Structure formats: structure tokens, C-alpha cells
Structure 1
Amino acid sequence: MVTARPTWRQARAIAAAAGAAAALPSERVPLDRAVGRRLADDLVTPIDLPHFASAAMDGWLVVGEGPWEVVDVEAPAPGQARAIVTGALVPDSPTAAQKADAPSPEVQVAVLRSESAAVEGGLLRSTVAGEPQPGHHVRPPATEAQRGELLVAAGTLLNPAHVALAASTGADELTVQAVPSVALVFTGDEVVETGLPAAGRVRDSFGVQFPALIGMLGGRIAGAARVPDLLEETVAALGDARAQVVVTTGGTGGSSADHVRAALLELGARLLVDGVAMRPGGPTRVAELPDGRLVVALPGNPLAAMVSAITLVEPLLAGLAGREPVPARVVRGAAVEGKSGATVLVPYADVDGRAVVATWRGAAMLRGLAGATGILIVPPEGVPGGETAEALPVPWVIER
């Protein structure tokens, strides 16, 4: 009995669920290693930002009305002033003496800019009419954030400014989502790694780009191996791959040179997806090895492998990292024919808000994908002209 292959959507859900079932714990990392990682917990400031009043200019800290006596004390009294630099602490405002039964009002403090001041005979005077006003050039506390305020939400991809902001709250580490490790296994006797291939041979298009692609999809490379089209060596490479996920390319068809499926079964793997009703990429497989490692076996044709990785490896890595897969979006474009019983994945470029499908979209062609902004998800019935359709962005045009 022939078992129907899952649809593209079903296969994507299976891959996501397989990753989620083996989700990795988040980890604490020093701030200098947090850039480029995804925040696991909300960053809430335990202090006001800034947490003290400070000078916004180089100049003079003045208390009350001038002219002011120049002193060298931390907290000048009313009628006094001392030199201050940008960012330095501005002490709390002193209070003026009053009768015992009356409240003591605060005496205003300010910073008088250096260029607006003159000192003569131990007295400081303002040289600009109206300067300084009360509180002039003083940064009050909590003007950026109040204690307990959310600064960065969980799930945010951290940039240098996020990390600097975390440092200002007193943090030394951040809790970030895991980045699954990925081992690559490239198969194929016909592949050459450098130079112009002879007739009957093809240039390696995976080894030069898959490490970067996996990084864009949310993983980190833990190793790579290249094996000939031999069952024994394929079994050994899969067994030796030390990573949470193993991604293979090639060898997924049914010819005498294709050994990945047989190698997985020999290792006792459980086939979660044994082919997908999609074009290109139908022979893609997802499996779980007895030790818990997950395997995504991609076809050998370049476009087929890449669209399969973008649409199936990504949700698996997302599940492992504890995040949601990249959601599909709706686009509008020209008519695209479907294929009975299969989802067709078509590279497209966004041109003036419309999806224009690539001319070069054969399973072995990369020219269309190279200029694409997304992958159109075409159901079996096709997409009529001007209608909306689902699409996934290619990872090099989105923030991950």
C-alpha cells in the first residue's frame, strides 16, 4: 500500500512539532555575547533610567540665584557654585532656612554652561541674560524609563543598542533562546568543490552557502562532512554527526545512487516525513534518530534543497529554540498555475507591491531565487491573476 505524502503545510507542521518536542533550554550569556541572540525573558529595568540627576553640559552647578561664590564642595549651599562635567551627579536640591513652623522650600539648582559663565574675584556670573533657568541642563532621574518598566520584550533579536540598554540597568548577563547546533552532510559523486566542472560533473553550490543559510534560519554549524554515493559511508556520516540537527543534501531519490533513506532506516530512525507533496523538493524527509537527533534530508537539486530548507528546516529550528516559525504573509501578483496533488513553491520578487514570479524556477536553477524576496506558496488549484496568495520571505531579507 502506498501511503500518501503529507502536504507541504502538514510537513511544515510536523517539522515544527518535532523541534518543539525537543525544545532546548534557554541560556544565560554575558552581554558581550548577546548581540544577535534572541531574548528569552522580558528585560525589565530594576532601577530608574537614569537613576540619578546628572549634568547635561560641562559647566557650573549653581544653587539659587547668582552671582555665586565658587566653592570646592560636593553639595554647594544656596548662593554657591562648583565646576561640573557632563554626566556628573547633581545633588538633591538644598532647602532654604525658614521659620520652624513653616515648610522649607527647595532652592533651585541648575547647570550654567561654561561658555555662558565668567569668574572674577571668586564670584561666578552668567554672561547670557536669562541663563540659567531653574533645572537648566540637568537631566532628572527616570526620564528614560521608570523602575519596573519593560524595555525589551522576550523574542526580540538583540542588537548592540539593546545590549547597551541592558548594561545601563545594571545587567551583566541576559537570558537568550537556544541556538540549535546543525551538522551538514553533503552527498554526491558528481560534485566538484572548485573551478569549472567538466561535462557530467557539477559545481558544489551547497558547501559555499549552507553554513550561512543555516545561520539565517536560526541554527549554528557544528560540523560538515562530504560523502560519496555509498550506503556504508552515508550511514557512518549520519552516525558520526555530532549536533542536535543533521541536514543532508542529495541522495533522497529512489535511484541506485541514493542512499540517505536507507541509511536512516539502518540507523533505526523514525521517518516523520517520508516525502512531501510539493514541487520542487518532493523527496525531502524529516526523521528522528534513536538518540533524539533530528534529521532533515534535502534533495540534491539546488533550488529544491534551498526552498525545502527555508520552508521545513526553519520551523524545526524554531521549535528547538522555543520560538514560533516565521509566519506566512499575503501577497498579490500574477497568475501562477498549480500542480495537481502538490503545492508548488515559486521564488518571486516584490515589484511595486506585487509578487512577480521568477522566470528561472526549475528545481536545478538558482537564478530566480538569487533575486527573490520570497517564496510563493501555490496550492494545487493555482493562483488566479491579481488574487492574494501566501508566501514566505527568504531569510536574507528578514530580521531573524
Structure 2
Amino acid sequence: MDYFVLKSVCMPSDWMRAICCSVPTEKALGMVTANDVRCVCDVPCYTSALRDGWAVRSSDNGKTRTAAAWSVENGRSHAQLEIGQAIWVNTGGTVPQGADAVIASRNSMDLQKIQSCVVPGDNIEQQGSDWKLGEVIVPAGTRVGAREMALLFEAGVKRVAGWASPRVAVVATGSEITQEADGLSSGFRRCSNASYIAALMSRIGVTDIRTIVVPDDIRQLTRTLVELDAVCDVIITVGGTGKGKRDYTRQAVSDAGGVFVGHDTQLDSPFVTARLPHAGLIGLPGNPLAVMMIVQCVLLESVRSVFHLPEAPAQTVEAVMTEDIEAGICGELCVNVNESAAKPLIKGTGRMRVFDSARGFVRLNGQGIKRGERVRVELFRN
């Protein structure tokens, strides 16, 4: 078949590793917690009044109560409530020791209210009624949002252990590749593949991304990989994975201390995965269509899953297949989608126009597809 199908692959589980770090609570927004986060104080941290009114003892029901000459000021603690006494307290204020109820009142001059009978706990929120010291307030594996930020601050948590966002480097290889935007000389091409990958990494939540161009020089490429390994968690190379005389990626990875991992240790795979001393590395071919399919179908979800980045449900559309797809083929078929028609893309093309024409893929399960049959297309995350 002449259409581009990315054969189904199972990414190795150990080629990338998430990094656990501890950050101040105010910087934890968006992070996924690595461990259970426990309260360092009771929540709420003191017994407070739920209404404006008089703090009293329920044991004084039926007895004459006397209004105290002072009131509770919010933000301050006070001495014990005396027997037969009533003390004015505002909503949110500390309930004096000895008081077990608050008589709701709108006016501190309404002294008749203090003689009302109460039930223990009336209009009071007890210290620790939500969470006790040491209880889990945010479980491990929770993405910290606005709700969790409020809980963490309320629980007195100063630092949060979570999974760090990966530091990613995209390395475009080839003496003909340049990052220059103006005045392009004959024989040079811009690093559009690398720009495409960097943009997609940003779309899934990666914030630390660098793009580097390295010529066809094995020593320089090896040195670059060693330097990046010290400061990055993921390295993505583009180009140089073929079997040509100037395809140096595999050798440079080995020279940089990398160990190839996965079901295929390089020879027939369209891409390679390796573990450097610190970073995970994936080596992609230079063909734009292959880059697009590997990144969209394999790499994005792998990085998102390993580093606990936000999930982005795939968007799908139904379309009519324009060509017959023979049985016995499994993998992802790259297609263009135009007016509800899914047209397969021809393999082998290295034209940059694929960035415009390739819109998604159809999963093939080996059963074949007839021309005119309706299929579900998973759209690229662009």
C-alpha cells in the first residue's frame, strides 16, 4: 500500500522519568501532587461563631445571664467565659473558652436575647470539624487547581511535593538546517520540523523548551547531547536516524552514554528511543510526514502521561474514506479531511505541504476499509 501508515508501537515505560520536586504552596498551581498532602493544623484552626450574637453556656439555660462589658474582637483570643455570662461575638470570631453555643442576634444592645435557651453547638463551627491535624487534605495524584490552593493554605501547608514540568530540548540535525529567519542562502532550510515539535510541546503544557541546530558533525552532536543531558529531562532529535553516511544520531547517542530501549533497538524502527544518564531521548527521522505522525500519535501522549501534564481529550470527526484500504494492516493511517471526506496521504513525501494537508489519522485494526465507508478520524492536536 502506498499510503503512510505508522505501525502500532508500544513506547518503553522507562525511557523518560518524571522528577519529583518541592515548591512553595503559592507556586503549586497546576502541579500534580506526588504524595498525600496532610494538614499541619486543624481545619478550621479554632472554634468560631457562624453568626453575630452572644456566646453562652448551654448549662445556663433557665438561669439569668449577664452581658459582659467586653466583646470578642475578630483575630484575637480571649479568656474563659464565666458561668452566667454572655459575651458578644461577631461572625468568624473566636468563641470564648467555656461557651458551647451562640445566640444569633442582629443587635448587641438586644440584651433580652441572652436569656434564650440554646442547644450545644448552635451557630458554632468547632475547631477541626472539617479536617484534623495530620489528616489528608489533598490526595496524591491530584492536579492542584484553585480549590486545592484554598485548601492547602487553610491547612497551613507551606510546601508541596509534586511532579515537575519537563525541561525539553529539540535538536534539529543537518548542515543544511538553520534557525535564521531572514536572508536564507541557497542550500539551507529552516528548522520547521523542530519549530512544529516545540509548539506542540508547549500546547500540552511544557514551559521549558529550547531549540538547537547541530550540523552533520558527530563530535558536535555528541557534545551537544552530553550538555543537554545535564539540564534537560527530554531530548528530541530530528534527522540523522537513517542509514546514510552522514546519519550520525544513533552513534552520537551511544557515544553520549545512551542506552537504546524499546522493542526494536534501532535497526528497522522509524525512530529510536534511548536513556541517557539523566534524560530520555527520542530520535525522529527528518521526513516531515513521519515527524508529524510519530509526534502526534506517540510522543505527545507519552510525554503527557509520564510527566503528569493536563489531559486533552482527542477530538474526532466522522468522514467518508475516499480509497480502499486493504486488510491485514494495523496502525495509524494519516489522512487529510476535507468536507467530510478522509483522503489518505501518500508515504515517502518529504514536502513541507504536509503541515497543511495532514489533518489526522484513522486507526487500522487489520480488517480493511472500503471506499465510501464511514470512519472515525482523530484530529491532530494543532
Please name the residue that 1:52 is paired with.
Answer: 46
Cα distance in 1, alignment partners of residues 120 and 310 from structure 2: 53
1:40 aligns with 2:34: yes
Cα distance in 2, alignment partners of residues 191 and 155 from structure 1: 41
Q: Secondary structure at the match of 2:32?
A: coil
Cα distance in 2, alignment partners of residues 69 and 83 from structure 1: 8
How many residues are paired up? 347
Contact between 2:319 and 2:374, CA under 8 Å: does it hold in 1?
Answer: yes
TM-score where L is the length of structure 1? 0.64
1:233 aligns with 2:231: no
Contact between 1:332 and 1:386, CA under 8 Å: does it hold in 2?
Answer: no
**Identity %, equivalent residues:** 22
Please name the residue that 1:72 is paired with.
Answer: 70
Q: CA deviation at 1:217?
A: 5.2
The superposition leaves residues 59-95 of structure 1 with CA deviations (integer Å, 9 ceiling, x where unpaired) of 443426898624216344466444434432223554x
1:18 aligns with 2:15: yes
Contact between 2:8 and 2:332, CA under 8 Å: does it hold in 1?
Answer: no
Q: Secondary structure at the match of 2:70?
A: coil
Alignment of 1:104-253 (within 5 A): 108-112=101-105, 116-117=106-107, 119=109, 124=111, 137-145=123-131, 150-188=136-174, 189-194=176-181, 203-206=190-193, 208=195, 210-211=197-198, 213-214=200-201, 221=208, 223-242=210-229, 243-253=232-242
Output the amino acid matched with 1:91: P
Q: Secondary structure at the match of 2:273?
A: strand
Contact between 1:346 and 1:377, CA under 8 Å: does it hold in 2?
Answer: no
Contact between 2:177 and 2:188, CA under 8 Å: does it hold in 1?
Answer: yes
1:299 aligns with 2:297: no
Q: Which residue among 78, 81, 91 is the counterpart of 2:96?
A: 91
Contact between 1:327 and 1:392, CA under 8 Å: does it hold in 2?
Answer: no
Change (3 A) 1:67 1:213: farther
Output the amino acid matched with 1:17: D
Cα distance in 1, alignment partners of residues 22 and 118 from structure 2: 47
Output the amino acid matched with 1:159: G
Contact between 1:217 and 1:313, CA under 8 Å: does it hold in 2?
Answer: no
Output the amino acid matched with 1:41: N
Output the amino acid matched with 1:36: G
Unaligned runs of 5+ residues in structure 2 are: 1-5, 72-77
The superposition leaves residues 70-127 of structure 1 with CA deviations (integer Å, 9 ceiling, x where unpaired) of 4216344466444434432223554xxxxxxxxxxxx642343xxx2152xxx6456x
Q: Secondary structure at the match of 1:155?
A: coil
Q: Secondary structure at the match of 2:15?
A: helix
Unaligned runs of 5+ residues in structure 1 are: 1-6, 95-106, 350-355
